[in-house]
């Protein structure tokens, strides 16, 4: 059984995959450019998630309006860990902050937000472990778009295939189509910041 708080991801020595869902007009422009470009907004926070199934739950397998396209965004581990090093949780955590007031001030000034949400099963049920979401604010978003991204792949067809297999009674075949995910190692400092361990 996975730990309550751990990062599970598709990664290699230098990169990690995070998932996002967008409207076709944004996805198509990003795929053509190999990075995020207009009409992607550089003025609002964007949330990146290393859990494919959490994104499928959030986008209802690409059926929600404005979330029809599933993108696998491969970014540098250096960029990912910079984001984690700047992250402040979206709620007060005793022990991590001296007081709610300290957290309020830190959160208001934070360039990166993070939250843990229940991980999801193939069928969307909540699991007793959590999945990390990292919110990249406008202060860091151009770093993400212009420096961290190594490549972007369109996973829309893959998501649709898994969904169709799942809903035609072929859950085992659907599961075999899922992207690989394994525990992502973090430093002690980042582990403390992320409430890991």
Task: Give 104-115 pLDDT, tens digit per residue.
Answer: 999 999 999 999
Helix, strand, or coil (residue 147):
helix
Question: Which pLDDT band, with edges at 50, 70 and 90, does 193 fall under?
Answer: confident
What integer is the mean pLDDT of 49-77?
97
Could you tell me if residue 2 is inside a domain?
no
Average pLDDT, whole number, for the chain?
95
- How many separate domains does the chain show? 1
What integer is the mean pLDDT of 115-143?
96
d(CA 151, CA 36): 10
Could you tell me if residue 3 is inside a domain?
no
What integer is the mean pLDDT of 131-148?
97
Could you tell me if residue 196 is inside a domain?
no
Could you tell me if residue 118 is inside a domain?
yes
Give the pLDDT confidence of 90-104 residue by residue, as tens digits: 999 888 899 999 999
pLDDT surpassing 70 at residue 1: no
Give the pLDDT confidence of 149-174 residue by residue, as tens digits: 999 999 999 999 999 999 999 999 99
Could you tell me if residue 1 is inside a domain?
no
pLDDT at 106: 95
pLDDT surpassing 70 at residue 83: yes
pLDDT surpassing 90 at residue 195: no
Tell me whether residue 140 is exposed, middle or buried, using C-beta atoms within 10 angstroms of its C-beta: 0 to 12, 13 to 18, 19 or more. Answer: buried
What integer is the mean pLDDT of 107-128?
96
SS3 string of 73-108?
EEEEHHHHHHHHHHEEECCCCECCECCHHHHHHHHH
pLDDT at 197: 65
d(CA 86, CA 193): 9
pLDDT at 172: 97
**Bridge partners for 94 per DSSP:** 97
pLDDT surpassing 70 at residue 44: yes
Query: What is the pTM for the complete model shown?
Result: 0.95
The domain of 45 spans 8-191
């Amino acid at each position: 059984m996975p730990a309550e708080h751990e990062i599970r991801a598709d990664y290699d020595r230098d990169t990690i995959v995070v998932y996002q869902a967008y409207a076709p007009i944004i996805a198509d422009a990003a795929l053509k450019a190999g990075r995020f470009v207009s009409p992607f907004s550089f003025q609002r926070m964007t949330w990146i998630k290393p859990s494919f199934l959490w994104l499928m739950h959030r986008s209802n397998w690409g059926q929600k309006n404005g979330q029809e396209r599933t993108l696998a965004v491969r970014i540098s581990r250096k960029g990912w860990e910079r984001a984690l090093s700047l992250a402040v949780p979206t709620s007060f955590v005793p022990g991590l902050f001296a007081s709610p007031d300290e957290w309020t001030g830190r959160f208001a000034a934070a360039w990166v937000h993070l939250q843990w949400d229940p991980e999801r099963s193939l069928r969307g049920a909540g699991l007793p472990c959590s999945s990390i979401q990292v919110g990249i604010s406008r202060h860091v978003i151009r770093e993400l778009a212009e420096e961290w991204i190594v490549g972007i792949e369109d996973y829309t067809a893959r998501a649709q295939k898994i969904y169709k297999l799942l809903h035609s009674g072929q859950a085992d075949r659907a599961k075999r189509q899922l992207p690989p995910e394994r525990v992502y190692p973090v430093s002690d400092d980042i582990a403390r910041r992320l409430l890991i361990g």
